[in-house]
Amino acid sequence: MGVGPSSMENLSLSVLTFYALAGTAVVGAAGVAFSRNIIYSALSLMVSFLGVAGLYVILGADFIAGVQVLLYVGGVLVLTLFAVMLTQGIRDVEVSNRSVGRIPAIVIVSGTAVVMYEAVSKAGWADKALAMDESSTYAVGNALLSDYILPFEVASIVLLAVLVGAVVLTRKEVVAEDESS
Amino acid sequence: MQEYLTTLLGGAEGLALEVGYLLGMLAFGAIVVFGFILPVAGITSWLERRVWARMQSRIGPNRVGPFGFLQWLADGLKNLLKEDVIPTAVDPRLFRIAPYVVVVGFVAAFVAVPFGANLIIADLNIGILYVTAATSLVVVGILIAGWSSNNKWSMLGGIRSATQIVSYEIPAGLGIFPVVLLSGTLSMQGIIEAQGWQPWNWHMFHSPFALAAFLLFFVSALAEGNRTPFDLPEAESELVAGFATEYSGMRMLLFFLAEWGNLYLIGALMATLYMGGWQVPPFTENAVLLGVAQFLSIFLKSCFWVFVAMWIRATLPRVRVDQLMTLCWKYLVPIGLVCVLGTAVTMVVAPEGILGLRFAMFGLVVLVIANFFRRVVFHLRRAKGMGWTIAG
Q: Where are the domains of chain B?
A: 78-350, 354-392
Contact A69 B166 (CB under 8 A): no
CA of B101 vs chain A CAs: smallest distance (Å): 11
The CA angle B66-B69-B75, to the nearest 5 degrees, is: 130
Task: Give A33-78 pLDDT, tens digit per residue.
Answer: 888 778 888 888 888 988 998 888 887 778 888 888 888 887 788 8
Rounded to the nearest angstrom, the minimum Cα separation between A117 and chain B is 31
Q: Which of B8, B140, B169 to mutate to test the interface with A (most CBs of A within 10 A)?
A: B140
Task: Give the pLDDT score at A3.
Answer: 43
The closest CB to that of A66, out of B122, B130, B146, belongs to B130
Residues of A in contact with B94 (CB under 8 A): 39, 43
User: What is the reported pLDDT for B152?
Assistant: 82
Q: Which residue is closest to B125 within chain A, CA to CA?
A: A135
pLDDT at A76 (0 to 100)? 84
User: Three-state SS string across B292-319, please?
Assistant: HHHHHHHHHHHHHHHHHHHHHHHHCCCC
Confidence of residue A2 (pLDDT cuts 50, 70, 90): very low
Asked whether residue B215 carries a pLDDT value surpassing 80, the answer given is yes
- Residue contacts between A and B (CB atoms, under 8 Å): 110
How far is B145 from B53, CA to CA, in rounded Å? 30
Calculate how close chain B gets to A118, using CA atoms only, in Å.
32
Judge whether B220 and B172 are in contact, CB under 8 Å.
yes
Per-residue pLDDT of B322-344, as tens digits, reads 888 888 888 999 999 999 999 88
Helix (H/G/I), strand (E/B), else coil: A4: coil
The fold for domain A8-92 equals Four Helix Bundle (Hemerythrin (Met), subunit A) (1.20.120)
> A111 to chain B nearest CA, in Å?
33
Q: Do A85 and B147 touch (CB under 8 A)?
A: yes
**8 Å CB contact of A3 and B140:** no
pLDDT at position B389 over 90: no
Locate the domains of chain A by residue range. Answer: 8-92, 134-172
CA–CA separation, A57 and A136 (whole Å): 11
Cis peptide before A5 (omega within 30 of 0): no
Q: Which of B13, B17, B126 to mutate to test the interface with A (most CBs of A within 10 A)?
A: B126
For A2, the closest of B2, B129, B140 (CB atoms) is B2
Mean per-residue pLDDT, B16-32: 79
pLDDT of residue A137: 80
CB-CB under 8 Å, B6 with A85: no
**Nearest-10 crossing angle of helices B249-274, B92-109:** 30
Rounded Cα distance between B121 and B188, Å, is 11
Average pLDDT, chain B: 83
